Amino acid sequence: MKAAVKAVLFRRYGGPEVLEYAELPEPVPAAGEALVEVRACSVNPVDWKLRAGLLQKFFPLEFPAVVGRDGAGVIAALEGDAQGFAVGDEVCFIAARGQGCCAERIAIKTERLARKPARIDFAQAAAFPLAGATAWIAIAEAGAVARGMNVLVHAGAGGVGGMAIQIARHLGASVVATCSAANADYVRGLGAGATSAPTTARTSPRPGPSSTSSWTASAARCTGALTRCSGRAARSSTWSRSRSRTCPRATASRRGRRSCATIRRCCARSQR
């Protein structure tokens, strides 16, 4: 019998009931790829949005579609230029959009791998790449957050928001975050100086001036666009009051850096 890997996949758009634990052919790494034994993969909001077909206009899937975008594991084989990696290395990764990674093994380009820090386990390493990169792009690249700035992070208890708080603090900014009351201690523990009442964020689609953050008109415009674009949890958008011109589209494309499609789409809207 042909070798196979177990994977979590779906063959049509729909609710959780379309998910299957099924077998796929063994992946074979092409030149420049690694075969990774996946030890953990994470679940992000985009996974259910893709499965439900909400994003098919932008990112149509080929079926069967494997769930998951990021994870962690061990390199089992390498093909071609190893880019400094070796068999046995512990890595975390962001798979290409549409590839899926909730599988026993995946073949993935080595440029999509990063070494897993030894002091975190596979589950922690799997949770980091996509949410962490999203927060990094928003805070460090698009927002150019720096020492002395004041940053408001909406949904600070979420995967992206929690990373955003810590990155902004690391860069020397003061951070205020919103979250539900039950998460206030957790969010404060991440380094947010104060948390605002959740009702403010949850009832106002376009944040206005508040006692905790003085929003510039353009920052509020961008945030309004982000809120409209990503719906209820676009609250990972983060803006500094002193960076009124830090709309991420211009910054990210000028640097030629990878940016997440959500942020690009939202910025395109904010330019209208």
Residues that bind ligand NAP (CB under 6 A): 44-46, 130-131, 134, 155, 157-161, 179-180, 183, 201-202, 230, 232-236, 260, 262
Residue nearest to ligand NAP (CB): 158
Question: CA 105, CA 39: separation in Å to the nearest integer?
Answer: 9
Q: Shortest Cβ distance from residue 39 to ligand NAP (Å)? A: 19
CB of 134 closer than 8 Å to CB of 110: no
Beta strands in the chain (DSSP E): 4-10, 20-25, 33-41, 65-66, 70-79, 90-94, 105-109, 113-115, 150-153, 174-178, 194-196, 238-240
Give the tokens for residue 264: 């690009």
**Closer residue to ligand NAP in complex, CB, 29/158:** 158
CA dist., res. 230 & res. 51, Å (int): 16
The smaller minimum CB distance to ligand NAP, of residues 74 and 165, is found at: 165
Nearer to ligand NAP, 106 or 137 (CB): 137
Closest approach, Cβ 69 to ligand NAP, in A, equals 7
Residue 263 beta carbon to ligand NAP: minimum distance, rounded to whole angstroms: 7
Residue closer to ligand NAP (CB basis): 103 or 130: 130
Q: How far is the CB of 68 from ligand NAP (least distance, A)?
A: 11
Nearer to ligand NAP, 76 or 233 (CB): 233
Residue 137 identity (one-letter amino acid): I
Residue that the structure tokens 């046995």 belong to = 88
Question: Least CB distance from residue 11 to ligand NAP, whole Å?
Answer: 23
Instruction: Give Cα separations from 137 to 85, 153, 172, 207, 259 (angstroms).
Output: 25, 14, 16, 21, 7
